[in-house]
Amino acid sequence: MFAELEANMTRQRTRDGISARQQNEAYHHGPAPLGFEKDDGELIESGDYHDVVATLEMVQKDELSRRKAAKRLDCARSTVNRALERSELYGL
């Protein structure tokens, strides 16, 4: 019972901390997506942006597997999946 109470208190403190950070103007919502960099909180295309877009297009056309795309872009498959979910960033 005490462990459950402590876990609930920890979850609430975490939610409160996240809420406080989001209300702060200096909070920039985590790392930049694949193929982008952050400049003072704004997303800008990185040097490998066009390679990322070409690779993601190949994955969408089933010309390249997600595993090979991840290896080619030197990232995890979950990162490739996340990039494909946010295809509007890449003009796909």
The more confident residue out of 17 and 29 is: 17
Percent of the chain beyond pLDDT 70?
91
Q: pTM of this prediction?
A: 0.65
- pLDDT at res. 40: 74
Please indicate whether residue 44 or residue 41 has the higher confidence score (pLDDT): 44
Mean pLDDT estimate for the chain: 86
Share of the chain above pLDDT 90, in %: 48
The residue with greater pLDDT, 65 or 19, is 65
Cα-Cα-Cα-Cα dihedral of 63, 92, 83, 68, to 10°? Answer: 10
Computed on alpha carbons and rounded to an integer, the radius of gyration of the chain in Å comes to 18
